[in-house]
Amino acid sequence: MSYELFIGDYAYSSWSLRGWLLFRALNILPKIHLVDFNQTSVADQLVGIAPARTVPAMRTAEGTVIWDSLAMAEELHSRHPEGALWPDDPAARGLGRALAAEMHSGFAALRSECPMNLRTAYRDVRLSDATQSDIARIETLWTHARDRYADLGPWLLGRYSIADIAFAPVAARFAGYDVALSDSAQRYVDTHLADPWFREWRDMALTIGDTLPWYAKPFDTRPWPEPA
């Protein structure tokens, strides 16, 4: 089955990272269409796949357009159950869906104050109380999942799943904005930073596209952190 995937800038588009990771986890190579954040609006560049107006968006072989990352995840899981994007165990799957859904709809302060930027890392970042509250909630969620499934592997549900894809850009934010975390949460961030798929995406982020100045923040910079 063939797919087309429409994504934004590799360095900055956190939602696009999620869409791309879904296909990478399934070992499916879609036809990639890159939406240029330097050009007209994203919606204008997606007029050919209406009603999509955001990235990521995918078009299936029969022409169905799906323009929401969580909808893409669930549809791809339905179409490719052998890919195990969700675990078979209903308890783990239910927890994973709750984790992904809260990430999908929440944490507005973190998203706004710390946009993903895979080209730049900062040190001594001063974050608002609202963002610190988001960080604390995310640590609570991660700890809950890791305490239950640590014996099955290093990911939230043990094995890699849609829940980890949902939080991959969050791990990138925590790394890039020098967020102080618990040991358990930092290990989970390091797991993402060491993941070959994440590293492949970041390599593309460093070589494809322009550095967009409106993503810069007024903090001291540092080298991008490597996993422990």
Q: What tens digit of pLDDT does each residue of 181-214 get?
A: 999 999 999 999 999 999 999 999 999 999 999 9
Helix (H, G, I), strand (E, B) or coil at 122: strand
Looking only at the bridges linking them, the beta strands covering 57-60 and 65-66 are: antiparallel
Q: What percent of the chain has pLDDT over 70?
A: 99
Q: Is 117 found in the same domain as 68? A: no
- Determine the structural domain holding residue 116 and report its residue range: 90-222
* Spatial separation of the C-alpha atoms in residues 54 and 35, rounded to whole Å: 10
CB 2 within 8 A of CB 61: yes
Examine residue 52 and state whether it is found in any structural domain, yes or no.
Answer: yes
pTM: 0.96
- pLDDT, one tens digit per residue, over 107-144 is 999 999 999 999 999 999 999 999 999 999 999 999 99
Helix (H, G, I), strand (E, B) or coil at 102: helix
Examine residue 97 and state whether it is found in any structural domain, yes or no.
Answer: yes
* Spatial separation of the C-alpha atoms in residues 32 and 209, rounded to whole Å: 14
Number of structural domains, the chain?
A: 2
Could you tell me the pLDDT band of residue 1, with boundaries at 50, 70 and 90?
Answer: low
* Spatial separation of the C-alpha atoms in residues 66 and 53, rounded to whole Å: 10
Q: Is 124 found in the same domain as 75? A: no
